[in-house]
Amino acid sequence: MTETSTDSNTFACTNCGADLKYKPGTQFLTCEYCGAKNDIPQIEGEVEELDFYKYLKDKSDKEEHVTALFVKCGTCGATATLEPNVTSAKCPYCTSPLVLEDAKDEYVIKPKSLLPFKITKDQAKDEFKKWVNKLWFAPNDLKKAILNLDQFKGIYIPFWTFNTDTSTDYTGQCGEHYYVTDSYTTIKYGKSLTKTRQVQKTRWYSVSGRVNHLFDDILTVATHSLPEKYIYRLEPWDLENLVPYDRNYLSGFITEKYQVELDEGFDIAKKMVDEEIRELVRRDIGGDEQRVISSNISYNSITFKHLLLPMFVSAYFFKDKLFLFLINGRTGEVQGERPYSKWKIGLTIAAGIAVIAAIVYI
């Protein structure tokens, strides 16, 4: 029997009954009205790893789900929870107005763990401003636009992590260098001379073998709403500090629904480790050069976690173009798109040309 719970992301103060919001970096919810601190009960136990194939076989009957109120953006397709008591809202990713009447309860896999926000919105904005100030060739009025941002949201982004014990059978060739003496003719002072030199050659041997490797916490993002290259640049995440899922931590933040299903997430994970496996094969082949002709990878003992990671997201239009920025809600690492000043780039190029011309003239 599947256990279902309703996730509203808000909780009542035990002192005055007002809605509570989680304060990053703490283990309690602070009441904005009476100031009371309401402790978040800490869930005991380890963060659970689930069997991948077992879940795919009987997920409809065995896995725990939650029901939450989500609204889907008609422009970018992101599906996320709403902040409580809002009468209007914009998509945190593309700034398009959301049709709140389209919000509906959806049935999703319950995350098993999460990393709570560690830095506040003000701290994230400070990191954001520092990052902008360091940008080369940024327009001067970008800094002014950054200071007036309204679209600055704390969002829990869904991820999958996978553990798997891999075994790879391969065939290939091992190349070993050797040198031969080569004679050649050259002209010196008008005379023909014969000289020798050492020439490198490679002798190839056919090889085959097997390499085994255990991959732990292959992290794959479970949304298409954000540019993957910026998401992965926010790493590393301190996954050793994951806590069991507790909806108290979600209070006051937006939570996005996963768009990438479990099996699709594992396909992504396999692509992410492919080059590392090939490197392990090359090391096993040894020699001075390696050629991998074929490889057959077996993925064994696959387990996974569905988890939420905290990010601050800012999206806004600057000179009729949308720019998206992401901030790691644990470390303050900033990644994102940025505009360039054409006249600054032009001046730099012109100055470089002038310097080269001066050097040539001298």
Query: d(Cα 87, Cα 149) in Å, to the nearest integer?
Result: 20
pLDDT at 98: 73
Confidence tier at 1 by pLDDT (50, 70, 90):
very low
pLDDT of 352 above 80: no
Q: Which amino acid is at 58?
A: D
Domain membership of residue 318 (yes or no) is yes
How many domains does the chain contain in total? 2
**154 and 270 together in one domain:** yes
pLDDT at 63: 61
Sequence-distant (6+) residues with CB within 8 A of 144 are none
Segment holding 263, helix H or strand E: helix 262-285
pLDDT at 340: 56
pLDDT at 329: 94
pLDDT at 12: 66
Query: d(Cα 212, Cα 46) in Å, to the nearest integer?
Result: 27
**80 and 181 together in one domain:** no
pLDDT of 361 above 80: no
* Domain stops at, among 154, 189, 206: 206
pLDDT at 70: 77
* Most confident among 42-56, 187-201, 203-217, 332-346 (mean pLDDT): 203-217
pLDDT in tens, 213-270: 999 999 999 988 888 889 999 999 999 999 988 888 888 888 888 888 889 999 999 9
pLDDT at 317: 64
- Who wins on pLDDT, 220 or 150? 220
Domain membership of residue 77 (yes or no) is yes
Domain membership of residue 228 (yes or no) is yes
* Domain stops at, among 153, 188, 206: 206
**211 and 129 together in one domain:** yes
Domain membership of residue 105 (yes or no) is yes
* Most confident among 42-46, 149-153, 231-235 (mean pLDDT): 231-235
In the chain, % of residues over pLDDT 90: 32
pLDDT at 143: 62
Say how many C-beta atoms besides its own lie within 10 A of residue 58's C-beta.
Answer: 9
Average pLDDT of 329-348?
70
Domain membership of residue 357 (yes or no) is no
Domain membership of residue 360 (yes or no) is no
Confidence tier at 3 by pLDDT (50, 70, 90):
very low
Domain membership of residue 358 (yes or no) is no
* Domain stops at, among 206, 227, 258: 206
pLDDT at 8: 44
Domain membership of residue 346 (yes or no) is yes
Q: Are 142 and 339 in contact (CB under 8 A)?
A: yes
pLDDT at 290: 93
**191 and 242 together in one domain:** no
**70 and 199 together in one domain:** no
**347 and 326 together in one domain:** yes
> Roughly what angle, to the nearest 10 degrees, separates helices 262-285 and 52-62?
170
**178 and 309 together in one domain:** no
**224 and 190 together in one domain:** no
pLDDT of 210 above 90: yes
Average pLDDT of 288-308?
92
Query: d(Cα 291, Cα 243) in Å, to the nearest integer?
Result: 44
pLDDT at 175: 92
pTM, two decimal places: 0.75
Average pLDDT of 16-20?
69
**270 and 344 together in one domain:** yes
pLDDT at 46: 57
**179 and 305 together in one domain:** no
**149 and 196 together in one domain:** no
pLDDT of 147 above 70: no
pLDDT at 4: 28
Q: Please provide the average confidence, as pLDDT, over all residues in the chain.
A: 79
Query: d(Cα 236, Cα 355) in Å, to the nearest integer?
Result: 41
Range of the domain at 194: 171-206
Burial of 291 (0-12, 13-18, 19+ CB in 10 A): middle
pLDDT of 13 above 60: yes
**142 and 196 together in one domain:** no
